[in-house]
Chains A and B, each alone.
Chain A
């Protein structure tokens, strides 16, 4: 890929992430679901304190425990639950802001129109509730986006949160 093509692709991808963050932050959940691939996998592993040379710092997708490890059906249920307006952990609604940065292209496969792009980013999600409840979800996000006739869709997302003990009482925001 030429430099220019790479810059264009990176621009497309980051604009996609900003658009996605906007939908979440402005609580347009139904619209947000449309950005997910039907075969999406959304995975937030547990992080453990282990010696540096060990490879078991993160729990394994679809094998071990995780903060979240789910497909489209459960993500849709999460949205539906929020929209019942009686999901008390999100009622009254949290104020949430997503900051996405440091996005780099890791891998590009396929031809324009049907590409799959894997990216690495940093993500900072600020959640504020009721009076003074504040949670910070900070970490590394690895996304695989698929280019389809409906535009780019999230096909796979792994979030490596920078906390081993989650310092939030609930994880009711999408990261």
Chain B
């Protein structure tokens, strides 16, 4: 049996045991303590536009059907027949009013005129005869996630009825998620998903990925080959267009989220030309900048490059602009999903250029991401050995140097190169692993900066 959680995650000294990346018992505990409790990203609304549309997704190791019923409500249902467990829906996507099990024909309806609640059992072959009419269909509807939230065109769910409201779960990290989900001009929820999700298997523990995305600028060396070749969308070297100078890492110790991004600022930074490979596209982004200046005025706003919503959803906000989800398969394997976002109301040329750029950057065929896979999979593999697994990873960088952030509740700022956000991620992971219920996990519980609202904006924290 593995050591107690507090010996696996040693917060005072920044140590993380390799056991948590390879151990079977800890993996099982993760599924029940983390994945059956946390809010998880399950789908994008563009996958379920019309009533009756459905898409199959994952929550932990369970497969779920995310579907829009005949009244337009979104449901997240466990994708298994309640009778004998056959995977009810083996398509990835489609449109259906009824899901019928191919094994014995039990069928479940998404039409509230036929059943009390969409997802309920509607038809059972031989109900009147073999079951003598005695089977209570209401008891045997599809298992549903009790908590579902559609947020700016993304769909999230939790198996735990006691989970906090999604907005509370996000806390002020929401502002950074908004940056990715809003339009480039700042228009709320202005995002569109490019058709099709990249899905691929990686022989890596799932935690390597969200940890990497939470603020590991230190691993930039991995991507030197693509920086040398240059895929930045204005031509030239590097992976992206010029980024703001004010980039830092911010973490939310009581929530587990983290981001590489900017501190809240009150004036739009000087316009930096972007996407110069196509004049029409470059002009679009210039216009978006002007609209941001107009929209926000001297109000606070944030921007970000990459971040993680605990536990397994990460996102790029700038270049590329994508969502990544890391589904656990076993202690040493995960399935990675990637979704590409563009402004919904952008011209086709803008969408097309973004799509091609995202593809050349991300996914198993991406010039950047392919090298991440190599790191995570061989770090997992080399943690398996009897001696290897008994030692710790070092997360000491910047320990004790976190600073409170004005204008963001419960956030700390840590500088560009630091492992503070990773420590925050594993601290939150440890809390989930130890907790018996959400009573012990509610945002605001446990050590860390208070969640009280910080002081009013002052001039000395503004960044240009």
Interface, chain A (partner B; CB < 8 A): 44, 46, 48-51, 54, 56, 59-60, 62-70, 74, 77-78, 80-81, 84, 86-89, 130, 133, 164-172
- In the complex, besides A84-B229, A87-B226, A171-B365, 11 extra interface pairs with C-beta distance below 8 angstroms are A44-B365, A49-B91, A59-B196, A64-B195, A65-B198, A81-B226, A81-B228, A84-B228, A88-B222, A169-B201, A171-B363
A49-B91, A164-B92 known; A89+B374 contact, CB < 8 A: yes
Interface residues of B in 210-252 (CB under 8 A from A): 222, 224-226, 228-231
For the complex, give the distance between the alpha carbons of A49 and B224 in Å: 37
Min CB distance B237 to A, Å, is: 11
Shortest distance between the CB of A50 and any CB in chain B (Å): 5
**Given known A70-B359, A168-B364, contact A87–B225 (CB-CB < 8 A):** yes
Most buried by A among B201, B365, B371: B365
Residues of chain A within 8 A of B198, CB atoms compared: 46, 65, 67, 166
Q: Are A87 and B194 in contact (CB under 8 A)?
A: no
Whether A77 and B370, one on each chain, are in contact in the complex, defined by CB atoms closer than 8 angstroms, is no
Q: Please determine whether A170 and B229 come into contact, CB atoms closer than 8 angstroms.
A: no
Report the bound CA distance from A49 to B355 in whole Å: 23
B229 touches A81 (CB 8 A): yes
Q: Measured between alpha carbons, how far is A68 from B90 in the docked complex, in Å?
A: 25
Q: Give the residues in chain B near A64, CB-CB below 8 Å.
A: 194-196
Minimum Cβ distance to chain A for residue B111 (Å): 19
5 sampled A-B residue pairs with Cβ under 8 A = A49-B92, A86-B224, A86-B225, A166-B198, A169-B374
Closest 8 CB pairs of A and B: A65-B196, A64-B195, A166-B200, A170-B370, A171-B365, A87-B225, A59-B196, A89-B370
- The 8 A CB mask of B83-101 against A (1 = contact, 0 = none) is 0000000111110000000
* Contact (Cβ within 8 A) A164 B199: yes
Within 8 A of A (CB), among B392-424: none
Q: Are A66 and B196 in contact (CB under 8 A)?
A: yes
CB under 8 Å from chain A, chain B span 432-458: none
Question: Would A89 and B200 count as touching, CB distance under 8 A?
Answer: no
Q: Is the interface of A mostly helix, strand, loop or mixed?
A: loop
Cβ–Cβ < 8 Å partners of A65 in chain B: 194-198, 340, 355, 359
Beyond A69-B356, A165-B335, A170-B374, whether A46 also contacts B196 by CB under 8 A is yes
Residues of A within 8 A of B70 (CB): none
Partner pick for B225 among A49, A50, A63, A84, CB 8 A cutoff = A84
Which of A46, A51, A78 lies in contact with B367, CB distance below 8 A? A78
> Complex: how many Å from CA A67 to CA B360?
10
Q: How far is the CA of A57 from the CA of B356 in the complex (A)?
A: 21
Contact call B195/A63, Cβ cutoff below 8 A: yes
Contacts of B224 in A (CB 8 A): 84, 86
Known A65-B195, A70-B356, A165-B200; contact A88-B375, beta-carbon cutoff 8 A:
yes
How many residues on the B side are at the interface (Cβ–Cβ under 8 A)?
43
Query: Using Cβ atoms and an 8 Å threshold, which residues of chain A touch B352?
Result: 62
Q: What chain A residues lie within 8 Å of B371 (beta carbons)?
A: 87-89
**Contact A171 to B196, CB < 8 A, known contacts A50-B93, A87-B225, A166-B364:** no
* B377 part of interface (Cβ distance < 8 Å): yes
Residues of B within 8 A of A165 (CB): 199-201, 335
Measured in the bound complex, the distance between the Cα atoms of B370 and A172 in whole Å is: 7
**Residues in A neighbouring B31, C-beta threshold 8 A:** none
- B202 on interface, CB distance cutoff 8 Å: yes
- Write out the residue numbers on chain B whose beta carbons fall within 8 Å of the beta carbon of A170: 364-365, 369-370, 373-374
Q: With A64-B195, A65-B194, A81-B229 known to touch, is A168 a contact of B94 (CB < 8 Å)?
A: no
Task: Report B-chain residues with C-beta under 8 Å of the C-beta of A130.
Answer: 378
Asked if residues B370 and A171 are in contact (CB atoms below 8 Å), the reply is yes
Q: Does B331 contact A (CB under 8 A)?
A: no
- What's the nearest-Cβ distance from chain B to residue A167, in Å? 5
Contact A50 B94 (CB under 8 A): yes
A171 to B364, CA, bound (A): 5
Alpha-carbon gap, A69 to B202, bound state (A):
22
Q: Are A48 and B194 in contact (CB under 8 A)?
A: no
In the complex, what distance in Å separates the CA atom of A170 from the CA atom of B375? 12
User: How far is A86 from B225 in the complex, measured between Cα atoms in Å?
Assistant: 6
For B93, what are the chain A residues with a Cβ–Cβ distance below 8 Å?
A: 48, 50, 56
Tell me if B203 counts as interface (CB < 8 A to partner A): yes
- 0/1 string, B346-373, CB within 8 A of A gives 1: 0000001001100110011101011101
